[in-house]
Amino acid sequence: MNSGSEYKNLRVFVTGAGGFIGSHLVEALVHSGAQVRALVRYTSRGGRGHLEQLGPAVYDSLEVVLGDVRDAQFIRNHVRGCDVVFHLAALIGIPYSYDAPNSYFDTNLQGTLNVLQAAQEAGVRRVVITSTSEVYGTARYTPIDEAHPLQAQSPYSASKIAADKLAESYHLSFNLPVTTVRPFNTYGPRQSARAVIPTIVSQLLAGTDVLRLGSLDPVRDLLYVGDTARGFLRAGIAEQAVGQVINLGTGEGISIGDLAHLIMKIVGREVPIVEEAARVRPPASEVRLLLANAELAKATLGWVPQVSLSEGLKKVAEYVGSNMTAYRVGSYAV
């Protein structure tokens, strides 16, 4: 299904627009004809995050606003007049959530409440809430469908479960047209060193003698960011998606250890792997297995992933190789 004509001239508000997935979604929305208001978190430096990497053909068409999802009045002012809201703003680093759980609930839960309330007052056509496969915890069965039990194995995942349930409550209580998109492990260009794939690629390209990682046995379902963005586009307009929680994933899993060896082949460097204790999650917090059942996305959105893992990893290697100064190879990014 082509969503391009369906977004033409729609007024769209995107929170977290300067982030990894957010910047790719903004780019896709512009190419689909949308009028995009892009929220980037305010700092005194006035940075636009990854939006600064978009070409002028995309960036110059945006209305970029600097602010914070934790400010209800600010969100209310900028949701007003929009047709569709994509809410991606969140704190996402799992290790940091062990150290600063209050920050995660302030942003991930209060921020979501502010977006839902503003959307309700403004009468928007659709709100798309961004969830995460981390809310499932370690799989009790595979592939994981949307009915799988939720388990908070980190403060981060607890904050996202709470936000998902808040979105559900606004749909059931107030008939707000909400769709919750639950991507599995998205990767691609612009992802930070906090994530495992750019961590592996940047170390290998920097010429390190060993590859320093955490646990090697967890299995992940890796989804290329372009496919994730396409899923969001469909979720913003597909009528069958209202009130639904929808997984986005490939249905194929790979362990972190096997992933590291695959990337070594792509980059052309084989080095020993060293498991560092500082990079290992607490045992009961580590999510061991994530593998998606994305049949609902196929049925309701007409969506299936298109980019293979090898193809996507090559794109990441090209990006990281051209942006090595953004990756602090000698330190562990949380």
CB contact at 8 A, 218 and 284: no
Query: Tens digit of pLDDT for each residue in 116-136?
Result: 999 999 999 999 999 999 999
Rounded-to-integer distance, Cα 324 and Cα 205, Å: 8
At residue 333, the pLDDT reads 74
At residue 152, the pLDDT reads 97
Mean pLDDT, all residues of the chain: 95
Q: Is residue 329 part of a domain?
A: no
The HSE-up count of residue 183 (CA atoms within 13 Å, CB side) is 22
Whether residue 185 has pLDDT greater than 90: yes
Residue whose C-alpha is closest to residue 301's, from 233, 250, 249, 226 = 233
Q: Is residue 293 part of a domain?
A: yes
Q: Is residue 18 part of a domain?
A: yes
Expressed as residue numbers, the domain containing 173 is: 4-190+222-251+289-306
Confidence of residue 332 (pLDDT cuts 50, 70, 90): confident
Q: Is residue 45 part of a domain?
A: yes
Cα–chain center distance at 244 = 18
At residue 330, the pLDDT reads 73
At residue 1, the pLDDT reads 37
At residue 334, the pLDDT reads 67
Cα–chain center distance at 299 = 22
Q: Is residue 106 part of a domain?
A: yes
Extract the tokens encoding 129.
């809430």
Whether residue 319 has pLDDT greater than 50: yes
Q: Is residue 316 part of a domain?
A: no
Q: What would the mean pLDDT of 210-230 be, rounded to a whole number?
A: 96
Whether residue 25 has pLDDT greater than 60: yes
Q: What would the mean pLDDT of 150-157 be, rounded to a whole number?
A: 97
Specify the CATH number for the domain of residue 128. Answer: 3.40.50.720
Residue 278 or residue 54, greater confidence: 54
Q: Is residue 88 part of a domain?
A: yes
At residue 19, the pLDDT reads 96
Is 29 in a helix, a strand, or coil?
helix
Question: Which residues are the active-site residues?
Answer: 156
Q: Is residue 124 part of a domain?
A: yes
Give the predicted TM-score (pTM) of the model.
Answer: 0.94
Confidence of residue 177 (pLDDT cuts 50, 70, 90): very high
Whether residue 227 has pLDDT greater than 90: yes
Residue 1 or residue 236, greater confidence: 236
At residue 2, the pLDDT reads 42
Domains identified in the chain, total number: 1
> 230: Cβ–Cβ under 8 A, 6 or more apart, which residues?
3, 28, 303, 306
Rounded-to-integer distance, Cα 108 and Cα 116, Å: 12
At residue 331, the pLDDT reads 74
At residue 3, the pLDDT reads 44
Query: Tens digit of pLDDT for each residue in 53-83?
Result: 999 999 999 999 999 999 999 999 999 999 9
